[in-house]
Structure 1
């Protein structure tokens, strides 16, 4: 059975984002995950000034022996030239992993390298590329990406794009569960696509509070193509020395895939009953639109080839999401322009402003999807559809004037902002205001009725964070059982295209009034 969910843009009264979690400097942890090595080099000399303490395990050289030496000492000449080419790339260029061969105990050993040039230093991430296998070959990955691309291009809507994406990523990677989230305007994530193994919890249609991905974590998705945790049961590795000798500060690990994970997030994964995770962002119009989140019940470390394929797929899907949203916007704007043209003709061919707006084949209610509308002009009041009483309208106008509402204003939560509106929430939980002459109390008002929405959360959002008595330590919720919340005093949201149409109508009305008077 298909699950129903509230509209993505539906306004939820409580803000579930976390300023506390969002203020933690995740990029300055100075710890990495142990499945790779981090090197910090002085930019001009390429001298190693800081290394992760597990460098001996990967390169076979103790940290004390490698520090303060040029990286050329452990690279064959041809590999050193390749390395310099990547270092000299501009900072704003896309960072592409490449294979780098080191001299380890007089033998050559190949690693996957990722270079992050900074103003004063260079960060190098190294991972053993022996995890790559024949199934990760370029040809096979290319075929799978092309197949997925053709599928999502034929999708009819965003939900279908999301579902196809998670199903194909699950096939490609072997993760036990793959979820696609879309963020609502308050940064709560709504699961709009899911592919999972039998017996795993079902999260399709559920909302997860914004505190699950706080602002600091969301911001890092702009600089990281993915976030991988091969296992939550790891011991973090420190950098040596602890302070970057070139900056005398903690090293900024914002761009690093190896960056260690906050303890609270590892606890969150444990509560989800998963041991490995990977997530990729959907970036639409330079904004974080949503995420793909992959879960596995056992440790999993996808090869760099697979990760790179997922990075590419996330970009392709983001482009298709943007195209689908543009397509919807173009269609809606065309419809609204048609209604606006009819309404404009009606305004200039009828005897009065009220008749032009509230009567006839096209009305302001058709244009803005209203359940009721009112015109308050030159001391008179005209209404159409379901509206508050005349006395309630006068008091509402007084509130608008007191709050200096002289520009177009729209809200889908009027009773939350204007308490008196709770008395007539059934007809006016949503309000759009088109001022004509605010100083004189002349307005066009559009109303939307209350729409009760039952939202299903993945766990109680009010218990998303549990602070310790010290006020510093905290834990994530330990239950993701469905928690239902009924949202009251709220109407359907105002679409950006509808607000634009309202502003165009307001301009047309003002122009008509001016022409008639002067």
Structure 2
């Protein structure tokens, strides 16, 4: 920060405050001195107050060995400690040295910006710093934290402990909200100090780069706000050719603006301890004292340790709270999804979980918009207002979720629905159509107590906006037009819920597609059935009527042989009609009857079917070849019917062969067993294989091979009910192979 002079007074130029080089101020606080050293411990730079502390001029010290500047005894201690210690970027205590016989200094060392920086802080004690009290202090603090139940309570404990360690008059713990404002959540006060508990400090009090430095260097001490900075000599770092980066220097000089801010607050000494949670600046422990007050390094170390413990405890509590919050949300979401899968109509199902939807989003109202349908529950805007909002969302909102806790700030119609829709969370459930699930949160009017008006600064001169604020009196602001903010967990779980909704909708679409496919197939079967009724079933009935008429006409005829033949034809036609009706009934039952699975020996089942077919094969030259077959888990009655139909087909289509061979074999696979029934019969043309398993489909003339055309359709339906497949291959005139698979795990 630079100072700009006017004709009559000096004022602080705040026009570039947020870009001020606070890491490279070029100076230090004067309650100590600093030396930057090369690797051989030659002095590269010295602070200009060197003479005030040890009687040697800063310019004269540059280029000298360290021992020539601080004396052999002090240099020997520094050299010994440097050799035994790994010095990094954070200041490390090397010991306490005596220089010029009467001056004692704590020596801190750190390596940064290409140099070894030694800082000598003036102290009253003559002995080295005593860290023995640090362990019991930390141990007792941990025990106290275990008995607290909230972040505020833990922060209050830390404030009390740090005030006891530092002796400062006021210690505040404040947390930065999502807008960067600091909210004082705990405080420890000495008598006579003003309280800021519950109040907020505006984000502008701590510029962006200052917050970054708080994250980098977690403790900062200002001994006396009325100090005069001591510049480094020379001003440019000889190693880097630029001003020194003093980010980690304990004596680093601070912004004149901040010093004026302290004086306006009647604070002459301050110390800040950063609270870093998950790598981010969560808050600060801010210590104030009305008079100048040093804090020795060992006490600062204790405060830093207490701050780190508090930050870890806050992180642990927040993680546990976050986890519990998300678990509660997930339980509600799982319950809702269970309810959404009960009925066929997805939108109607949503109405059954309306109360849970409100609980899930901590909302007062919810609406579902799907095309012309609008369903609402709870306290919501009117239907017309919701439709206008959806129109705006479809144009303005992008992505998988839209949320705001200040709808009126962005939506022109928001002011009319502030009461019950100051905040909304909207999930688009279609990329094409205006389909939305929208939660509404009502307006929450609340007040904020500021430590001074954050929107104005006191004074009447033309430079009022370029000076640190001077008033820290409590100022109350009333906030309207906002709702409770949306929690990050709510937004993430809402996205998961949207994905699940889309999954349910997709599953419904797939079910509808399968239903349409099944309906199409049923329609084709119905068409085939109609054809069968009009053709296949009509034919035997026509025969019955025709031969009955012939029988009546020949009633006076004594030709018994002709009458016997007519009766035989009537009987055969009636039998065929009855067989057709039986097969139709069987096919219908295949789609409705429940499976009763059991373990089946396919060897026994096949041999049983062969025995039943013995009457049809009597007198024929037919050889059965049955390999060893595996067991399956299936419905015994259904599988027996399927196998019997396939074996019966093989017997029928080999009837014109002088020597017939029917072979039954199996293939064993990890997840299924496949069975093949091969014959050397008539076969069929593979161009028509797609018709083979259809209802009433024949690839041969009925006069050549009798049958109803339902048997193979039954086979396919039985196998598919078990989760398997049925297929066939053939060369016309050379036989056919019919195959089917049965999974080892039946579908649920």
Q: TM-score, normalised by structure 2?
A: 0.63
- How many Å separate the matches in 2 of 1:389 and 1:325? 38
- How many Å separate the matches in 2 of 1:71 and 1:87? 18
Match of 1:62 among 57, 64, 67: 57
- How many Å separate the matches in 2 of 1:355 and 1:46? 81
Who is 2:508 aligned against? Answer: 516
Is the CA contact 2:262–2:268 (under 8 Å) kept in the aligned structure 1?
yes
Match of 2:131 among 120, 138, 142: 138
**Range that drifts further, 195-204 or 365-374:** 195-204
Matched, 1:24 2:15: no
Q: Structure 1 residues 351 and 370 mapped into 2: Cα distance closer, same or farther (>3 Å)? A: farther
Matched, 1:474 2:469: no
Match of 2:115 among 99, 115, 121: 121
Matched, 1:456 2:426: no
Q: Structure 1 residues 132 and 489 mapped into 2: Cα distance closer, same or farther (>3 Å)? A: farther
- How many Å separate the matches in 2 of 1:226 and 1:466? 33
Is the CA contact 1:97–1:112 (under 8 Å) kept in the aligned structure 2?
yes
Is the CA contact 1:357–1:363 (under 8 Å) kept in the aligned structure 2?
no
- Residue aligned with 2:341, SS: helix
Who is 2:165 aligned against? Answer: 172
* CA offsets 1:217-264 (integer angstroms, 9 cap, x no match): 111112323111111121111111122233222111111121112222
1:116 positional shift? 2.5
1:288 positional shift? 0.2
RMSD: 2.5
Who is 1:157 aligned against? Answer: 150
Match of 2:486 among 481, 494, 497: 494
1:48 positional shift? 1.1
- Would you identify which runs of 4 or more consecutive aligned residues in structure 1 move more than 4 Å? 75-78, 107-110, 131-134, 464-471
- Residue aligned with 1:221, SS: helix
Q: Structure 1 residues 406 and 63 mapped into 2: Cα distance closer, same or farther (>3 Å)? A: closer
> What 5-or-longer segments of structure 1 have no aligned partner?
1-17
Match of 1:259 among 248, 252, 256: 252
Is the CA contact 2:113–2:245 (under 8 Å) kept in the aligned structure 1?
no
1:269 positional shift? 1.2
- Residue aligned with 1:321, SS: helix
Match of 1:336 among 329, 334, 337: 329
Who is 1:50 aligned against? Answer: 45
**Range that drifts further, 140-149 or 165-174:** 140-149
- How many Å separate the matches in 1 of 2:79 and 2:473? 55
* CA offsets 1:461-499 (integer angstroms, 9 cap, x no match): 01259897479x822221111111111110001111111
> What 5-or-longer segments of structure 2 have no aligned partner?
1-13, 511-748
* CA offsets 1:364-393 (integer angstroms, 9 cap, x no match): 111111111111123321111111222212
**Range that drifts further, 169-178 or 308-317:** 169-178
* CA offsets 1:402-460 (integer angstroms, 9 cap, x no match): 12423212111111111211101111111111111143111111110010011111100
1:117 positional shift? 1.3
Match of 1:421 among 389, 414, 428: 414
- How many Å separate the matches in 1 of 2:472 and 2:277? 29
- Residue aligned with 2:210, SS: helix
Who is 1:325 aligned against? Answer: 318
The count of residues paired between Structure 1 and Structure 2 equals: 494
- Residue aligned with 1:277, SS: strand
- How many Å separate the matches in 1 of 2:346 and 2:148? 45
Residues 208-223 of structure 1 correspond to what in structure 2 (within 5 A)?
208-223=201-216
Is the CA contact 1:466–1:474 (under 8 Å) kept in the aligned structure 2?
no
**Range that drifts further, 309-318 or 224-233:** 224-233
Residues 37-116 of structure 1 correspond to what in structure 2 (within 5 A)?
37-42=33-38, 44-73=39-68, 74-76=71-73, 78-85=76-83, 89-91=87-89, 94-99=90-95, 101=97, 104-105=99-100, 111-116=105-110
Is the CA contact 1:52–1:238 (under 8 Å) kept in the aligned structure 2?
yes
Q: TM-score, normalised by structure 1?
A: 0.89
- How many Å separate the matches in 2 of 1:62 and 1:505? 72
- Residue aligned with 1:349, SS: coil
Larger of the two Rg values belongs to structure: 2
1:359 positional shift? 2.7
- How many Å separate the matches in 2 of 1:222 and 1:125? 22
Q: Structure 1 residues 387 and 145 mapped into 2: Cα distance closer, same or farther (>3 Å)? A: same
Q: Structure 1 residues 496 and 248 mapped into 2: Cα distance closer, same or farther (>3 Å)? A: same
- How many Å separate the matches in 2 of 1:448 and 1:112? 58
Match of 2:434 among 438, 441, 463: 441
- How many Å separate the matches in 2 of 1:19 and 1:234? 23
Matched, 1:280 2:280: no
Is the CA contact 1:426–1:449 (under 8 Å) kept in the aligned structure 2?
yes
Matched, 1:384 2:377: yes
Matched, 1:307 2:300: yes
1:87 positional shift? 8.0
Who is 1:12 aligned against? Answer: none
Is the CA contact 2:15–2:466 (under 8 Å) kept in the aligned structure 1?
no
**Range that drifts further, 144-153 or 457-466:** 457-466
- Residue aligned with 2:429, SS: strand
Q: Structure 1 residues 383 and 351 mapped into 2: Cα distance closer, same or farther (>3 Å)? A: farther
Matched, 1:401 2:397: no
- How many Å separate the matches in 2 of 1:364 and 1:133? 67
Is the CA contact 1:205–1:456 (under 8 Å) kept in the aligned structure 2?
yes
Q: Structure 1 residues 212 and 514 mapped into 2: Cα distance closer, same or farther (>3 Å)? A: same
- How many Å separate the matches in 1 of 2:126 and 2:480? 53
Is the CA contact 2:88–2:110 (under 8 Å) kept in the aligned structure 1?
no
Who is 2:574 aligned against? Answer: none
Who is 2:261 aligned against? Answer: 268
